[in-house]
Amino acid sequence: MASFIDDIFGKLFPNKKTPVKHKENFIQSEEAIASTSAWKESREGKILINLVQKNYHFKTSGMNASPEVHILKSPYANGFAITFESPFDSKSFSQLFFAFGQRMLDLGYQKISLDRKIEEINDNVKTTEKQYFKPPLSNIDFSQKIDQLYGNVSIEKISINEKPSFMKVLVTVYSDHLYQTARPFEQFIDDLFEN
Give DSSP secondary structure letters for 136-153.
--TT--TTS-B--TT-EE
The dihedral region occupied by 176, where left means phi > 0, alpha psi between -120 and 50, and beta the remainder, is beta
Q: How confident is the model at residue 135 (pLDDT cuts 50, 70, 90)?
A: very high
Threshold 0.85, pTM exceeds: yes
Q: What is the pLDDT of residue 13?
A: 66
Domain ranges of the chain: 26-193
How far is the C-alpha of 172 from the C-alpha of 88, rounded, in Å?
27
Are 75 and 182 within 8 A, CB to CB?
no
Position 35 scores a pLDDT of: 97
Q: What residue type is 8 in one-letter code?
A: I
Exposed/middle/buried for residue 114 (C-beta within 10 Å: 0-12, 13-18, 19+): middle
Query: pLDDT tier at 165 (50, 70, 90 boundaries)?
Result: very high
pLDDT at 9: 63
- Please compute the mean of the pLDDT values over residues 36-64 and round it to a whole number: 95
Q: How far apart are CA 101 and CA 129, in angstroms?
A: 12
Mean pLDDT of 151-174: 96
Instruction: Give the number of other Cβ atoms within 10 Å of residue 121's Cβ.
Output: 11
pLDDT, position 29: 93
d(CA 58, CA 60): 6
Banded model confidence at residue 12, pLDDT cuts 50, 70, 90: low
Mean pLDDT of the chain: 90
Distance in angstroms (rounded) separating the CA atoms of residues 131 and 52: 19
Rounded to an integer, what distance in angstroms lies between the CA atom of residue 20 and that of residue 169? 26
Please give the average per-residue pLDDT across 22-44, as a whole number: 94
Per-residue pLDDT for 1 more than 60?
Answer: no
